[in-house]
């Protein structure tokens, strides 16, 4: 099974870079995953709540280890997120366009993470039945 299908089959996600700004992808992705029936945790240290859900400052603050982390942050932040994922045992990372710099992809692979880096989760959710 390809990584896109594998990750979409998992139901516990975190969105790093989730936001309450409805114009931004961090909001659209969080909302779309929730609407598609996923258990999704928003991660953003500057925000308390998104669409009525508690927003967590970091992956380490979550009540559980998510199966997939969707990353919607600049590459400099993304590299730190890859290290965090490896430290707490998260195996799957989905790097959105813009977050998928080669340095982040390479680091993720070096850490042994499974990576999707050429697909937008919004598009794939629409195609996924």
CATH number of the domain within which 15 lies: 3.40.50.720
Predicted confidence (pLDDT) at residue 127 exceeds the cutoff of 70: yes
Query: Which one-letter DSSP state was computed for residue 91?
Result: -
Based on the structure, what is the number of domains in the chain? 1
110-122: average pLDDT = 97
Q: Has residue 110 been placed in a domain?
A: yes
How much is the pLDDT for 129? 59
CB atoms within 10 A of CB 100: 21
Q: Has residue 18 been placed in a domain?
A: yes
96-125: average pLDDT = 97
How much is the pLDDT for 128? 81
Q: Has residue 74 been placed in a domain?
A: no
- Burial profile 31-53: b = 16 or more Cβ within 10 angstroms, e = fewer: bbbbeeebebbbbbeebeebeee
Q: Has residue 89 been placed in a domain?
A: yes
What's the domain range around 117?
3-66+79-98+105-127
Task: Find the helix or strand (DSSP H, E) in which 93 lies.
Answer: strand 92-95
CA distance 78 to 100: 8
Q: Has residue 72 been placed in a domain?
A: no
Q: What is the pLDDT of residues 52-110, one digit of tens each?
A: 999 999 999 999 999 999 999 999 999 999 999 999 999 999 999 999 999 999 999 99
Q: Has residue 27 been placed in a domain?
A: yes
Q: What is the pLDDT of residues 10-53, one digit of tens each?
A: 999 999 999 999 999 999 999 999 999 999 999 999 999 999 99
Q: What is the pTM of this model?
A: 0.96
Q: Has residue 73 been placed in a domain?
A: no
Q: Has residue 71 been placed in a domain?
A: no
Q: Which residues contact 110 (CB under 8 A, 6 or more apart)?
A: none
How much is the pLDDT for 34? 97
């Amino acid at each position: 099974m390809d990584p896109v299908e594998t990750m979409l089959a998992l139901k516990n996600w975190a969105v790093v870079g989730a936001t309450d700004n409805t114009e931004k992808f961090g909001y659209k992705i969080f909302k779309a995953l929730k609407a598609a029936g996923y258990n999704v945790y928003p991660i953003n240290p500057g925000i308390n709540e998104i669409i009525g859900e508690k927003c967590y400052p970091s992956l380490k603050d979550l009540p559980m280890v998510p199966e997939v982390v969707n990353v919607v942050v600049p590459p400099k932040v993304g590299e730190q997120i890859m290290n965090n994922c490896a430290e707490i045992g998260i195996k799957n990372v989905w790097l959105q366009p813009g977050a998928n710099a080669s340095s982040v992809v390479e680091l993720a692979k070096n850490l042994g993470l499974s990576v999707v880096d050429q697909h937008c989760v919004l598009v794939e959710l629409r195609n996924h039945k």
